[in-house]
């Protein structure tokens, strides 16, 4: 989406003749406020839902298929990335019915390695860009970072917004940076990381979600995984409400990706229940919902083996990331 197209669409949605920081501020601050206590209570209630064995089996396989298996460490090596890709393709070598994950997420310089390791599969390669995780760089640097990842073969780009600009009320700057990054993505999908742990309030999470969608995000993502709190259930609930309402207003579906701190099958099931209850079952596919995780896959495997055999396998029966 070009800058002019994105700006024109945003003007139409906002009902303004000029897209300025003032018009964005008025519109974003005119969104309904989030009932903080109500959001926490709704998330807590949804997290108590229990599911039957057959539904749990479906939930485990669905969660596996939604994982962006991730390694974003300064100590990452080519061998570690190739090992992660092998696990992404065949999570359980003893059970070929185990689904593969949705994507492998790495830094730019490992995109080519991951792309080669995943050759012949339909697993995507995602790259973090735009000065991840801080987002503190000039726009030309962020665009170059994105193009570098796309040129290396990335199918998806996970960008971070400038939280300093957002919290200072410079919404047009954030909008323009998302639009420019989206344009640099070409055919790659764009996930916009809000870093909700730094946004302070639930109202800001709602505003940032709508701002990202206005600017052309294909996905909105909670966190980098480097800041706490990361992917909480209430924050994800608010983002799911945003994409639901966006579809009602525009007819377009936007994906949601909670990332960071989701480590157990129990956690994953809570998120899937919330997706179903808040956005609807249309979002219960890897095309529209992802988990940014590394250790989650291990626990899902153990729980899957438990359902199949009636007993927990020891840790030696699953590969460790």
Decide: helix, strand or coil at residue 131. Answer: coil
Residues 6+ apart with CB under 8 A from 230: 196, 197, 222, 223, 224, 258, 259, 260, 261
Give Cα 308 to chain centroid, integer Å.
30
C-alpha dist (Å) from residue 234 to 30, 67, 74, 172, 213: 21, 20, 31, 27, 19
* Catalytic option among 158, 162, 176, 267: 158
Q: What is the CB-side half-sphere exposure of residue 139 using CA atoms within 13 A? A: 13
Look up 158 and say whether it is catalytic. Answer: yes
Report DSSP state, residue 312: P
Give the DSSP H/E element, type plus range, for residue 53. helix 53-65
Give the DSSP H/E element, type plus range, for residue 103. strand 103-106
Decide: helix, strand or coil at residue 160. Answer: strand
* Catalytic option among 92, 257, 267, 299: 257
* Catalytic option among 87, 115, 191, 221: 221
Look up 257 and say whether it is catalytic. Answer: yes
Instruction: Give catalytic residue positions.
Output: 158, 221, 257
């Amino acid at each position: 989406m070009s800058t002019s197209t994105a700006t024109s669409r945003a003007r139409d949605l906002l009902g303004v003749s000029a897209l300025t920081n003032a018009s964005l501020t008025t519109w974003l601050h005119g969104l309904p406020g989030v009932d903080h206590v109500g959001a926490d209570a709704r998330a807590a209630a949804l997290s108590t839902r229990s599911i039957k064995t057959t539904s749990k089996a479906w939930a485990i396989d669905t969660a596996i298929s939604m994982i962006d298996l991730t390694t974003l460490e300064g100590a990452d090596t080519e061998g570690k990335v190739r090992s992660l890709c092998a696990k992404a393709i065949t999570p359980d070598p003893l059970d070929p019915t185990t689904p593969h994950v949705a994507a492998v997420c790495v830094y730019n310089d490992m995109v080519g390695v991951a792309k080669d390791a995943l050759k012949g599969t339909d697993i995507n390669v995602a790259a973090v860009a735009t000065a991840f995780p801080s987002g503190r760089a000039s726009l030309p640097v962020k665009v170059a970072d994105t193009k570098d990842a796309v040129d290396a073969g990335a199918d998806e780009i996970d960008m971070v917004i400038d939280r300093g600009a957002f919290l200072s009320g410079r919404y047009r700057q954030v909008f323009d940076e998302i639009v420019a990054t989206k344009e640099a993505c070409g055919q790659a999908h764009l996930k916009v990381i809000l870093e909700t742990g730094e946004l302070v309030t639930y109202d800001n999470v709602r505003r940032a979600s709508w701002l990202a969608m206005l600017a052309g995000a294909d996905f909105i993502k909670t966190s980098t995984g480097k800041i706490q709190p990361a992917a909480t259930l209430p924050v994800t609930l608010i983002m799911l409400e945003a994409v639901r309402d966006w579809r009602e207003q525009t007819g377009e579906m936007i994906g949601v990706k909670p990332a960071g701190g989701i480590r157990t099958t129990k956690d994953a099931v809570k998120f899937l229940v919330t997706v179903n209850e808040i956005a609807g079952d249309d979002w219960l596919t890897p095309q529209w919902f992802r988990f940014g995780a590394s250790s989650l896959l291990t626990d899902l495997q153990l729980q899957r083996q438990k359902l199949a055999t009636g007993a927990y396998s020891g840790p030696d029966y699953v590969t460790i990331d």
